[in-house]
Structure 1
Amino acid sequence: MNLTLLMPLGAAAALIFAYVRAKKVLRESEGNELMQKIAASIRQGANAYLKRQYSGVAKFFAVVFVLMLALSFMGQMEIFVPFAFVTGGFFSALSGYIGMKIATSSNARTAFAASQSLNSGLKVAFSAGSVMGFTVVGLGLLDTSLWFFFLKYIVYAGLPEAEQAMKISALMLTFGMGASMMALFARVGGGIFTKAADVGADLVGKVEAGIPEDDPRNPAVIADNVGDNVGDVAGMGADLYESYAGARLSASALAVSAGFGMVGMAVPMALAAIGIFASIIGTFFVKTGEDASQRSLLGSLRKGTYIASAIVAVASYFLIQYAFGGQQTGLFIAILVGLLAGNLIGYFTEYYTSDTYKPTQKLAESSETGAATIIISGLSLGMMSTAVPVVIIGIAVMASFACSGGIQNFEAGLFGIGLSAVGMLSTLGITLATDAYGPVADNAGGIAEMSGMEESVRDRTDALDSLGNTTAATGKGFAIGSAALTALALVAAYVDQCKAIKPDLVLDLSITNPSVLVGLFVGSVLPFVFAAMTMSSVGKAAMSIVTEVRRQFREIRGLMEGTAEPDYHTCVDLCTKSAQQEILAPSLMAIIVPLVVGFTLGVNGVTGMLMGATASGFILAIMMSNSGGAWDNAKKYIESGHLGGKGSDNHKAAVVGDTVGDPFKDTSGPSINILIKLLSTVSIVFAALIVNFSLNL
Structure 2
Amino acid sequence: MTTQVAWLAPICAAIGIIVAAYLGSWVLKQNPGPDKMNSISLKIQQGAQAFLMSEYKLLIIFMVVVAVIMAVALSPITAIAFVTGGVLSAAAGYVGMYVATRANTRTAYAAEESVAKALNVSFKSGLTMGLCVASFALMGLSLWLIFLVFGVNLADPQLMHENIGMVEGFATGASAVALFARVGGGIYTKAADVGADLVGKVEAGIPEDDPRNPATIADNVGDNVGDVAGMGADLFESYTGAILAPTILAVTFGSLGGYFTEGDFVWTIVVPVMIAACGIITSIIGLFAVRTKEGADLHKALNRGTYVAAGIEILVILAIFAIWQSQSAAAQPVWLFGSVICGLVAGLAIGKITEYFCSDHYNPVHKIAAAAETGAATVVIEGLGTGMLSTIAPICLVAFAIIGAFFCGNMAFPAATIEGGVMVGLYGVALAATGMLSNTAITIGVDAYGPVADNAGGIAEMAGLPEEVRDRTDALDAVGNTTAAIAKGFAISSAGLAAISLFVSYQATMHHYIENFELTLTDPLIVAGIFIGAMMPFMFAALTMGAVSRAAHAMVEEVRRQFREIKGIMEYEAEPEYDKCVAISTSSALREMMLPGCLAIVVPVVIGCFNPAMLGGFLAGAVATGMLLAIFMSNSGGAWDNAKKYIEQGNFGGKGSEAHKAAVVGDTVGDPFKDTSGPSMNILINLMTIVSLTFSPLFITIQNLL
> Distance between the aligned counterparts of 2:703 and 2:509, measured in 1?
16
> Distance between the aligned counterparts of 2:399 and 2:218, measured in 1?
41
Q: Which residue of 1 aligns with 2:45?
A: 43
Deviation at 1:413, TM superposition (A): 1.1
Q: Which residue of 1 aligns with 2:173?
A: 178
**Would you say the 8 A contact 2:636–2:670 is kept in 1?**
yes
Q: Which residue of 2 aligns with 1:256?
A: 251
> Distance between the aligned counterparts of 2:157 and 2:501, measured in 1?
21
> Distance between the aligned counterparts of 1:561 and 1:315, measured in 2?
61
1:287 aligns with 2:291: yes
> Distance between the aligned counterparts of 1:685 and 1:166, measured in 2?
12
Q: Of 540, 559, 568, which aligns to 2:550?
A: 540
Change (3 A) 1:645 1:141: same
> Distance between the aligned counterparts of 2:574 and 2:43, measured in 1?
17
1:414 aligns with 2:414: no
Q: Which residue of 1 aligns with 2:353?
A: 348
Q: What amino acid is the match of 1:188?
A: V
1:516 aligns with 2:517: no
Deviation at 1:246, TM superposition (A): 0.9
Deviation at 1:512, TM superposition (A): 2.2
**Would you say the 8 A contact 1:188–1:534 is kept in 2?**
yes
- Matched residue of 2:214: which SS? coil
- 1:437-516 matches, within 5 Å, as 437-499=449-511, 502=513, 505-516=515-526
Q: Which residue of 1 aligns with 2:8?
A: 6
Q: Of 349, 360, 365, which aligns to 2:365?
A: 360
**Would you say the 8 A contact 2:78–2:165 is kept in 1?**
no
Q: What amino acid is the match of 1:114?
A: A
**Would you say the 8 A contact 2:85–2:169 is kept in 1?**
no
Higher mean C-alpha displacement, 531-540 vs 244-253? 244-253
Deviation at 1:66, TM superposition (A): 1.3
> Distance between the aligned counterparts of 2:113 and 2:521, measured in 1?
62
**Would you say the 8 A contact 2:17–2:132 is kept in 1?**
yes
Q: What amino acid is the match of 2:415?
A: Q
Higher mean C-alpha displacement, 261-270 vs 124-133? 261-270
**Would you say the 8 A contact 2:211–2:462 is kept in 1?**
yes
**Would you say the 8 A contact 2:566–2:574 is kept in 1?**
yes
Change (3 A) 1:514 1:149: same
Change (3 A) 1:342 1:46: same
Q: What amino acid is the match of 1:92?
A: S
**Would you say the 8 A contact 1:18–1:132 is kept in 2?**
yes
Deviation at 1:145, TM superposition (A): 2.6
- 1:600-639 matches, within 5 Å, as 600=610, 602-639=611-648
Runs of 4+ in 1 over 6 A off after TM superposition: none
1:400 aligns with 2:397: no
Q: Which residue of 1 aligns with 2:419?
A: none
- Matched residue of 1:287: which SS? coil
Q: Of 401, 414, 437, which aligns to 1:425?
A: 437
Change (3 A) 1:555 1:499: same
Deviation at 1:162, TM superposition (A): 4.3
Deviation at 1:78, TM superposition (A): 3.3
**Would you say the 8 A contact 2:148–2:160 is kept in 1?**
no
**Would you say the 8 A contact 1:628–1:662 is kept in 2?**
yes
Deviation at 1:632, TM superposition (A): 0.2
**Would you say the 8 A contact 1:537–1:582 is kept in 2?**
yes
1:668 aligns with 2:671: no
**Would you say the 8 A contact 1:257–1:411 is kept in 2?**
no
1:589 aligns with 2:589: no
> Distance between the aligned counterparts of 1:162 and 1:510, measured in 2?
29
**Would you say the 8 A contact 2:180–2:593 is kept in 1?**
yes
Q: What amino acid is the match of 2:283?
A: S
- 1:365-404 matches, within 5 Å, as 365-404=370-409
Q: Of 18, 31, 34, which aligns to 1:32?
A: 34
For the aligned residues, what is the CA RMSD?
1.6
Q: What amino acid is the match of 2:574?
A: A
Q: Deviations over 1:191-221 (max 9, x none)?
A: 0000000000000000000000000000000
Change (3 A) 1:696 1:363: farther
Higher mean C-alpha displacement, 323-332 vs 103-112? 323-332
Q: Which residue of 2 aligns with 1:230?
A: 225
TM-score normalised by L of structure 2:
0.95
1:104 aligns with 2:101: yes
Deviation at 1:429, TM superposition (A): 0.7
> Distance between the aligned counterparts of 2:33 and 2:481, measured in 1?
25
Q: Which residue of 1 aligns with 2:539?
A: 529
- 1:182-193 matches, within 5 Å, as 182-193=177-188
Deviation at 1:368, TM superposition (A): 0.9
Change (3 A) 1:368 1:158: closer
Unaligned 5+ residue runs, structure 2?
A: 254-259, 417-421
Higher mean C-alpha displacement, 4-13 vs 422-431? 4-13
**Would you say the 8 A contact 1:385–1:626 is kept in 2?**
yes
> Distance between the aligned counterparts of 1:159 and 1:340, measured in 2?
34
Q: Which residue of 2 aligns with 1:574?
A: 584
**Would you say the 8 A contact 1:187–1:671 is kept in 2?**
yes
Q: Deviations over 1:384-427 (max 9, x none)?
A: 00000000000000000011117733442111011010000000
Q: What amino acid is the match of 2:393?
A: V
Q: Deviations over 1:265-293 (max 9, x none)?
A: 1000000001111111111100111023x
1:93 aligns with 2:102: no
Higher mean C-alpha displacement, 591-600 vs 46-55? 591-600
Q: Which residue of 2 aligns with 1:74?
A: none
> Distance between the aligned counterparts of 2:196 and 2:7, measured in 1?
50
Q: Deviations over 1:135-182 (max 9, x none)?
A: 0010011101321233258xx667746456434433323421100100
Q: What amino acid is the match of 2:664?
A: V
> Distance between the aligned counterparts of 1:572 and 1:138, measured in 2?
32
Deviation at 1:681, TM superposition (A): 1.2
Q: Which residue of 2 aligns with 1:201?
A: 196
- Matched residue of 1:80: which SS? helix
Q: Deviations over 1:7-46 (max 9, x none)?
A: 1111111111101111111110000000000000000000
- Matched residue of 2:410: which SS? coil
Q: Which residue of 1 aligns with 2:126?
A: 129
> Distance between the aligned counterparts of 1:150 and 1:487, measured in 2?
25
> Distance between the aligned counterparts of 1:497 and 1:562, measured in 2?
66
Q: Which residue of 2 aligns with 1:216?
A: 211
Q: What amino acid is the match of 1:449?
A: E
> Distance between the aligned counterparts of 1:363 and 1:430, measured in 2?
30
> Distance between the aligned counterparts of 2:33 and 2:587, measured in 1?
32
Q: What amino acid is the match of 2:675?
A: D
**Would you say the 8 A contact 2:506–2:692 is kept in 1?**
yes
> Distance between the aligned counterparts of 2:386 and 2:553, measured in 1?
28
Deviation at 1:693, TM superposition (A): 2.0
Change (3 A) 1:266 1:168: farther
**Would you say the 8 A contact 1:165–1:265 is kept in 2?**
no
> Distance between the aligned counterparts of 2:651 and 2:154, measured in 1?
69
Deviation at 1:694, TM superposition (A): 4.5
- Matched residue of 1:643: which SS? helix
Q: Deviations over 1:554-583 (max 9, x none)?
A: 111100111110000010011000001101
Q: Deviations over 1:490-544 (max 9, x none)?
A: 11122233345x1x53332122221221111011010000000000000000011
Change (3 A) 1:157 1:247: closer
> Distance between the aligned counterparts of 2:704 and 2:385, measured in 1?
43
TM-score normalised by L of structure 1:
0.96
